[in-house]
Every structure is written in C-alpha cells, then in structure tokens.
Amino acid sequence: MTEKIYATDAYAAEMQAEVLRTDTDDNRVLLDRTVFYPGGGGQPHDCGTLSIGDDRLEVIRVAEDSDGVWHWLKGSLPSVGMTVDGQIDWDRRLKVMRTHTALHALCGVIWNRFQSPVTGGNMAPGEGRLDFDLPDWTADEIPVVEAALNDELSKRRAIEVSFLPRDAADKDPSLIRTKVNLLPKGIQQVRVIDIVGLDRQADGGTHVSNTDQVGRVTIPKAESKGRGFRRIRIRLEDV
Ligand SMILES: [Zn+2]
C-alpha cells in the first residue's frame, strides 16, 4: 500500500519515496508514499515529475487501485528499491484545491437556501460544476447565490480534515445528506472535510485550509437539465 501524504497534508508538494513495484506494460511505478493525488470525487489527478539523480521523468497519469497509488511515467522506469524525488505541478494543484473548496462552499450555500442535495459534479483547475435537485430555481437566483457564495468565502472559515469511524459517520446528519451511506461497506474510516459552520462532507480530495485562499468566484452559467435538475458552473475570478 501507498502512504497517502495528500490525505493529511494537502500543501505537501514534494516527497521522497521508494519504488515498490514496476509495470513495464503500462510504464508505471507503485510508490511507498506519495503527494500525487490519484483522481477521484470529481478532482483530476496531479501531474508533475519523479527525479532520480539528474534524470527527471514526467508523471503523466496517476491512479489508485487495491495495491496503492500508481504513477505513469514518460521515459525509462526506475527499478524496484530505488529512491525517487517526487514533485507535483503546484500551480495546477493549488487552482484545483481552490476550485474544489469553492464547490464545497456552493454545496453549503445551496443547502442553506433550498435544502437541496448535490447529485453530481466535476472540476478542472479554475472551474467546476455541481448538479443539484433544485425544483424552485430561476435565473434570478444566479446573482443571489453568487453573492452569498462570495460572502461565505470572505468569512475566513477554516477547513478541517478529520477521520471518523464508519459507524459514527453513518449516523452523522450532515454526512447522511451527502450520501456517506453509499461509500463501499469495506471502508472502515471516513475522511471528513469540514468548512466550519458552512459545509461538511465525506471526501477524499484536497482543499485549501481557509476559505480566504479561494478568492472571488463567479457563476457564469446555470443550466436546466430536466425536471428539477440544475447544473451550476463556477469559475475562480483570477484564472
Ligand atoms: Zn470534495
């Protein structure tokens, strides 16, 4: 298994790691620890480099399976047992963390205004979207929600990461509404992201540590995708 440094320290951009396994068919390596997020929950995987001495290998894809976190490389693979220095593309990751945090804040704002749950979502560095079951929505809501979202972000709310035993998570009202019960039964410990006072959800991704790091956000578009189904898009103002 791979120690997931990103799960407890979203600001770690570098690591030293040992190669546990190689796969020459796919040109990928399994590492004992990593700062590279493998993708999931709508958040894209990180990109970056693995260095061995003077050799810098580009990491073009990252994904997790039951063995751990695999890193796909451009160039010749290092051998099992070698030490590598990993570095993620930090500019890209920070934009993703700010975007991801803004989407959680949007969940909180929509919940407070409509008590409507999120049904899906996706993000790229600097922009993202969430889907809601929102029967009462009209286009007049866009500026109202945008203002409420920026107001919440400007409140300097802390974002805390914690780990809850599964039984406790299954009984937590704020987690139930974000469908914690749909997590595979085998997961015994649930990672929780709490924008204190605004939004709390089970989540494996990376987020900034305070809402003031998100900056201002715009809502360029909200689409109607069928009965009650609204897709709200957000964008970081400075990217
Ligand atoms: Zn999330």
Tokens of 146: 């945008």
- Domain boundary residue, one of 60, 88, 116: 88
Ligand 1 midpoint to CA 52 (Å)? 33
Tokens of 176: 């139930």
What pLDDT shows up at residue 177? 76
Ligand 1 midpoint to CA 83 (Å)? 32
Alpha carbons 200 and 205: distance in angstroms, whole number: 13
* Domain containing residue 81: 3-88
Residues 201 and 134 in one domain: yes
pTM of the model: 0.95
Q: Write out pLDDT tens, residues 26-64.
A: 999 999 999 999 999 899 999 999 999 899 999 999 999
- Domain boundary residue, one of 21, 53, 88: 88
Residue indicated by tokens 């205004």: 113
- Domain boundary residue, one of 88, 123, 153: 88
Is the confidence at residue 65, as pLDDT, over 90?
yes
Alpha carbons 164 and 175: distance in angstroms, whole number: 11
Residues 41 and 103 in one domain: no
Report the pLDDT averaged over residues 166-188.
84
Tell me how many domains the chain contains: 2
User: For the purposes of burial, counting CB atoms within 10 Å of the CB of 39, is it exposed (0-12), middle (13-18) or buried (19 or more)?
Assistant: middle
Residues 81 and 98 in one domain: no
Ligand 1 midpoint to CA 104 (Å)? 6
Q: Write out pLDDT tens, residues 83-117.
A: 999 999 999 999 999 999 999 999 999 999 999 98
Ligand 1 midpoint to CA 174 (Å)? 14
Residues 73 and 97 in one domain: no
Residues 212 and 108 in one domain: yes
Report the pLDDT averaged over residues 198-210.
95
Ligand 1 midpoint to CA 137 (Å)? 23
What CATH number is associated with residue 192? Answer: 3.30.980.10
